[in-house]
């Protein structure tokens, strides 16, 4: 496995950088990405436990999830671009240390305002994961980049999906504070291993921080494929977050499930993580357009069973969760494969723009969950959630699709 004494200095890719990415390092990246990104989702299924203990109203409970995602979007925009400017390992470790402190503080705070502020900080500091993913893309050889990124994203997305059942079970047995305390311990272990293991990477790009942030606008303006992919995934993630923020409320109030039952429900949804490696291989084989079409169509059709929920019950919700997770994860990996091919030296900034749009969409979706449920119950939640992938599909058919992918290849060349 690579050691920190081996520095990788990259403006583009080479066989030398590819040689640093061993199978063991890919596995470590995948596990670490899953462990870090899970911080964003531990609160999602247990807001009904957290809110009363902090004296938050039912309508304000979804702010816990929304502020975490808003913080993540801010970190993506203001911190992740630094990966094109400063040494990547130090940047990752610095953000991870802030995450550890934020999680530990969240485990012991008793004020609603303080907890909401810490939720924002937990999201902001969890962007270490989006420093690791572009680093892996830099180290990967061209012919296998989609497969390797897909494998790592599989670990990341499994972390997203497993965070919910783990959180539900732990909170049900030991209380919600133990969830955050345990997350702080796990982050400490992961950060220590990464600090001792991952290679250093010093980018060749030279600019001031403000010039680097200013270049984000230029990248967004001149790369239509980035804009298309960011829009698709932002809409898909709005649907994803709306579903997974609202469904624990529905399972508790309508079906009387315990935290353990909600955890089991979320665990079944983790089946959808299998689409990430598949998407990476399809992208490497040149099937991005067809695979994107499949992902958007599946995302749109996923809610068909929940719109007739009286007949399908919990089984319909399970089917929606699995199909939606499969579609969202496939679309995400396909999008990353496309944008990483646009300009190697700008990968961290491209990733920052792409992921910022995703989590802005996610924050919007989760913020709507409590309000929609209180006003119209599950039918209103499902109807609005289904509209997001339908909008993405309409944009893909009218504006994106084969023309956008062809243009992306021209840009990459």
**Model confidence over 377-407: pLDDT tens digits?**
888 999 999 999 999 999 998 886 655 445 4
pLDDT at residue number 205: 65
How far apart are the C-alpha atoms of 381 and 364, rounded to whole Å? 13
- Asked whether the predicted pLDDT for residue 71 surpasses 80, the reply is yes
Q: Average pLDDT, stretch 257-264?
A: 78
Q: pLDDT, tens digit, for every residue of 339-368?
A: 877 877 777 788 888 888 887 888 789 888
For the chain, what percent of residues have pLDDT higher than 70? 85
- Is the pLDDT score of 54 beyond 50? yes
Confidence of residue 274 (pLDDT cuts 50, 70, 90): low
| Beta bridge partner(s), residue 7 | 200
12-412 sits in which CATH class?
A: mainly alpha
Q: How far apart are the first and last CA of the chain?
A: 32
| Residues 147 and 108: beta-carbon distance below 8 Å | no
Question: Is pLDDT of 221 > 80?
Answer: yes
Residues 93, 123: Cα–Cα separation, whole Å? 15
Question: Given a cut of 50, is residue 183 above it in pLDDT?
Answer: yes
User: Looking at the predicted structure, is the pLDDT value of residue 292 above 60?
Assistant: yes
CA torsion 359→362→367→372, rounded to 10°?
170
Q: What is the pTM of this model?
A: 0.73
Predicted confidence (pLDDT) at residue 67 exceeds the cutoff of 50: yes
For the chain, the average pLDDT equals 82
What pLDDT was estimated at residue 4?
41
Given this model, what pLDDT does residue 16 score?
42
pLDDT at 279: 67
For 87, which DSSP code? -
Q: Cα–Cα distance between 78 and 361 in angstroms, integer?
A: 17
Lookup: tokens for 60: 């304000």
The DSSP string of 110-143 is --HHHHHHHHHHHHHHGGGHHHHHHHHHHHS-GG
200, β-bridge pairs? 7
* CA proximity to 370, closest of 119, 44, 124, 69: 44
Say if residue 287's pLDDT is above 60.
yes
Q: What gap in Å lies between CA 50 and CA 182, rounded to an integer?
A: 16
* Confidence grade of residue 61 (pLDDT, cut at 50, 70, 90): confident
Q: pLDDT class for 1, splitting at 50, 70, 90?
A: very low
CB 388 within 8 Å of CB 365 = yes
**CA quadruple 254, 259, 260, 264: dihedral sign:** positive
| 237-262 mean pLDDT | 86
Look at residue 186 and tell me whether its pLDDT is greater than 90. yes
């Amino acid at each position: 496995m690579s050691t920190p004494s081996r520095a990788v200095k990259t403006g583009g890719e080479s066989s030398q950088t590819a040689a640093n990415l061993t199978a063991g390092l890919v596995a470590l990246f995948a596990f670490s990405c899953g462990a870090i990104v899970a911080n964003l989702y531990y609160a999602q299924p247990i807001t009904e436990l957290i809110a009363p203990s902090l004296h938050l109203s039912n309508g304000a409970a979804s702010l816990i999830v929304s502020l975490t995602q808003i913080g993540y979007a801010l970190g993506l925009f203001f911190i992740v671009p630094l990966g094109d400017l400063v040494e990547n390992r130090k940047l990752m470790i610095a953000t991870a240390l802030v995450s550890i402190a934020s999680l530990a503080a969240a485990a012991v705070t008793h004020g609603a305002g303080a907890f909401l502020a810490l939720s924002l900080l937990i999201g902001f500091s969890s962007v270490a994961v989006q420093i690791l993913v572009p680093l892996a893309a830099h180290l990967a050889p061209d012919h296998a980049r989609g497969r390797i990124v897909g494998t790592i994203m599989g670990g990341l997305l499994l972390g997203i999906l497993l965070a919910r059942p783990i959180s539900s079970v732990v909170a049900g047995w030991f209380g919600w504070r133990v969830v955050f305390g345990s997350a702080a311990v796990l982050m400490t272990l992961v950060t220590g291993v990464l600090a001792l293991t991952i290679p250093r990477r010093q980018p060749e790009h030279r600019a001031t921080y403000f010039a680097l942030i200013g270049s984000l606008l230029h990248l967004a303006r001149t790369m239509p494929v980035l804009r298309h992919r960011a829009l698709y995934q932002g809409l898909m993630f709005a649907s994803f977050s709306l579903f997974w923020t609202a469904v624990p409320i529905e399972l508790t109030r309508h079906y009387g499930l315990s935290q353990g039952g909600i955890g089991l429900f979320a665990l079944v949804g983790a089946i959808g993580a299998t689409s990430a490696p598949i998407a990476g291989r399809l992208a490497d084989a040149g099937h991005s357009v067809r695979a994107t079409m499949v992902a958007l169509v599946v995302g749109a059709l996923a809610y068909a069973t929940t719109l007739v929920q009286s007949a399908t019950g919990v089984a319909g919700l399970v089917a929606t969760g699995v199909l939606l997770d499969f579609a969202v994860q496939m679309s995400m990996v396909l999008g990353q494969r496309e944008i990483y091919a646009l300009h190697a030296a700008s990968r961290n900034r491209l990733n920052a723009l792409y992921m910022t749009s995703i989590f802005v969409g996610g924050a919007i979706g989760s913020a709507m969950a409590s309000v929609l449920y209180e006003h119209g119950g599950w039918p209103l939640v499902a109807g609005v959630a289904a509209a997001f992938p339908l909008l993405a599909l309409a944009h893909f058919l009218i504006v994106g699709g084969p023309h956008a992918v062809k243009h992306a290849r021209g840009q990459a060349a």
